[in-house]
Amino acid sequence: MQLAVTLIAILATVLGSWMALPQAIRLVRTRCVDGVSASWIGVSVAINVWWLAYGVGADVWVLLPVATISVAIYGTMAAVFLRTVGPRGMPGMVLGMFGLGMVPLPFLVLGGWTLAGVALGLAYGIQLLPAVLAACTTDRLSGVAPATWLTAWAEAALWLAYVALVPDVALALAGVMGVVMATVILVRLSVTGHRPFARGELAIS
């Protein structure tokens, strides 16, 4: 069983580290922000900092590589997004980072890392919610990278498989939220004709 746990953790870590990369590359190359939420980028920076802290505080060391890489990628996306849209992108970024992204803080203060972990698992849904709302309120989704959301779905499913063997409430909640939110965006891309499962759409370019 230990081998299965290790392999699942490694694969989930690789996918988690790669998840935001297609979106970051598309943003850097095209400077197209259609369908991309500033709040989603901001809250993603904050929540991955929280996962990094949770990994250390709760001794869930398997989270450290993916959280560290994700902070770097989302941080790059934040810089490029703000450079592209200018000051009008700042309110959404700040709301995501210092509003939605601070949801786990009172739980940490009240109940330590155990309670904060539960809040963090639920907060993964909050992290993805701005992206879901942005995708569902516009048909202009050319800035959205389908490969990011296919990877998000696969990563979340793998973490669910992981917690079936090594129980962890935070990761279980995050897995459920990830599967649900990524599914919504992939369905939305399909409905609007962006063909997320087409070979060309899966490329990181």
Q: Is 9 in a helix, a strand, or coil? A: helix
**Confidence class of residue 96 from pLDDT cuts 50, 70 and 90?**
very high
Higher pLDDT, 144 or 176: 176
**Confidence class of residue 114 from pLDDT cuts 50, 70 and 90?**
confident
Place of tokens 């450079």: 83
Instruction: Identify residue 32 by its one-letter amino acid code.
Output: C
199 pLDDT exceeds 80? no
Question: What percentage of residues in the chain have a pLDDT greater than 70?
Answer: 94
pLDDT of residue 137: 87
Question: What percentage of residues in the chain have a pLDDT greater than 90?
Answer: 45
Residue range 172-180: average pLDDT? Answer: 92
Tell me the C-alpha distance between 60 and 120, whole Å: 13
Q: Is 167 in a helix, a strand, or coil? A: coil
pLDDT of residue 117: 86
DSSP 196: T
pLDDT of residue 197: 64
What are the backbone angles phi and psi of residue 4, rounded to the nearest 5°? Answer: -65, -45
DSSP 35-103: T--HHHHHHHHHHHHHHHHHHHHTT-GGGHHHHHHHHHHHHHHHHHHHHHHGGGGHHHHHIIIIIGGGT
DSSP 97: I
Average pLDDT of the residues of the chain = 87
Give pLDDT tens digits for 53-81: 998 998 888 788 889 999 999 999 999 99
Tell me the C-alpha distance between 172 and 158, whole Å: 10
pLDDT of residue 161: 92
Instruction: Please state the pTM of the whole predicted model.
Output: 0.80
Give pLDDT tens digits for 23-56: 999 999 999 988 889 999 999 999 999 989 998 9
Domain limits, the chain: 2-202
pLDDT of residue 205: 43
163 pLDDT exceeds 70? yes
pLDDT of residue 198: 65
Tell me the C-alpha distance between 73 and 78, whole Å: 9
